[in-house]
Amino acid sequence: MRIGILLISLVFMSCLHSCAQNGQPKLPSLQISDSMKLTEEQWKEKLTPEQYYILREKGTEKPFSGKFVFTKDKGTYTCGGCGEPLFTDDMKFDSHCGWPSFDREIAGGKIIQTEDNSYGMRRTEITCAKCGGHLGHIFDDGPTETGKRYCVNSGSLAFEPEKSNTSTPLLQTIVLAGGCFWCIEAVFEELSGVSGVESGYANGNTEKPTYKQVCTGNTGYAEAVQITYDTSLISLEELLEVFFAVHDPTTLNRQGADVGTQYRSGIFYKNEAQRRVVEKVIATLNKNKAFDNPIVTEVSPIKNFYKAENYHQEYYELNKQEPYCKMVIKPKMDKLHKIFADKLKTKK
């Protein structure tokens, strides 16, 4: 791959475009948050006897006995031990197995999977990453497109109903910079729930910059994409999960062979709610050591965004046969199709 990138950057030196394939996230491992390292006595005080039996002693409630088996209310299911949001109501389905079942989890490495060979069975246990509380097991027999069934004890969960008077609009925008915008644009165009992606220049110091000016690295602008997404279909957490998987957020002002502030990794948010989500996702990735090095992604409020020249829009879609697209962008797209198959508009 490195040789490939070298070749590409030689061929395309003139436009300084290439995208590296570094920084693949690893699966999160269990690193219990310091505030959640309680003694067994403290846990007993904090939890009800039933919660303690399930969360701390890996117990299982009797089928059809839990309070969330049949619930369909709108809201968020949180960890009964620490309050971390784990599932939302739209991830829940009726599995007829006697325990609340979900086909997905809220993104961000909040749930850890480990092999469980107890009781002569081979199962995969699911545990809250923040407090280490036992939740249940995960199986590969889910009926929805994810194929997963998170089989969770009601007693390990709490529920926060959705506030009816939500002030968050359904359609939101956020600006993401991850090096070469041709690649980032192509990736987000394919995500379900994303209604628009524009390549452009973000958070610079001049007005109406041109591609040529931005390429000098002296304008303060980052090559970026403005993404419009429907929050009822895709969450900011999910967008960021994809974003961090398709670029390297650990190299300052650089993506592979592309060097300069215009190639910096950046998230430019529009409101406080977005900022909180972004910081939480980054903290979780750092805590779980998802990358070998700390994340250096700039997190700033959006100052300005100028749409790039027309020939930069949908560059990959219109130039798939070009060697650059074939050799540099296509591997990223293949990765997207493989890892995030369930999040795509059309199944690959």
Nearer to Zn ion, 43 or 244 (CB): 43
| Contact between 55 and Zn ion per CB under 5 A | no
202-221 footprint of Zn ion as x/- string (CB under 5 A) = --------------------
Nearer to Zn ion, 133 or 178 (CB): 133
Smallest gap, in angstroms, from Cβ of residue 22 to Zn ion?
Answer: 32
Encoded tokens for 326: 């074939």
Active site includes 215?
no
| Contact between 133 and Zn ion per CB under 5 A | yes
Identify the CA nearest to 107 among candidates 237, 292, 302.
Answer: 237
Active site includes 325?
no
| Residue 121 DSSP SS3 | coil
Smallest gap, in angstroms, from Cβ of residue 27 to Zn ion?
Answer: 18
74-113 footprint of Zn ion as x/- string (CB under 5 A) = -----x-xx-x-----------------------------
Smallest gap, in angstroms, from Cβ of residue 98 to Zn ion?
Answer: 23
Smallest gap, in angstroms, from Cβ of residue 133 to Zn ion?
Answer: 4
Smallest gap, in angstroms, from Cβ of residue 32 to Zn ion?
Answer: 9
Q: What CA dihedral angle connects 250, 252, 258 and 259, to 10 degrees?
A: -160
Dihedral pair phi/psi, residue 344, rounded to 5°: -90, 150
Smallest gap, in angstroms, from Cβ of residue 81 to Zn ion?
Answer: 4
Nearer to Zn ion, 133 or 260 (CB): 133
| Contact between 158 and Zn ion per CB under 5 A | no
Nearer to Zn ion, 86 or 281 (CB): 86
Nearer to Zn ion, 107 or 214 (CB): 107
Is the alpha carbon torsion for 4, 9, 15, 19 positive or negative?
Answer: positive
Query: Total number of residues binding Zn ion (CB under 5 A)?
Result: 8
Whether residue 17 contacts residue 181, with contact meaning beta carbons closer than 8 Å, is answered with no
Scanning 145-271, the segments in alpha helix (DSSP H) are 181-189, 211-215, 236-246
Sheet containing strand 92-93, edge to edge, reads 92-93, 101-102, 149-152, 134-139, 123-128, 111-116
Q: What pairs with residue 268 in β-bridges?
A: 175, 300
Encoded tokens for 254: 């650089």
| Catalytic option among 79, 82, 180, 325 | 180
Footprint (CB under 5 A) of Zn ion, residues 112-131: 128, 130-131
Encoded tokens for 208: 């109406």
Distance (Å, rounded) from C-alpha 204 to C-alpha 72?
47
DSSP secondary structure code for residue 191 in this structure: B
Distance (Å, rounded) from C-alpha 248 to C-alpha 232?
28
Nearer to Zn ion, 107 or 325 (CB): 107
Q: Which residues bind Zn ion (CB under 5 A)?
A: 79, 81-82, 84, 128, 130-131, 133
Point out the residues that are catalytic.
Answer: 151, 180
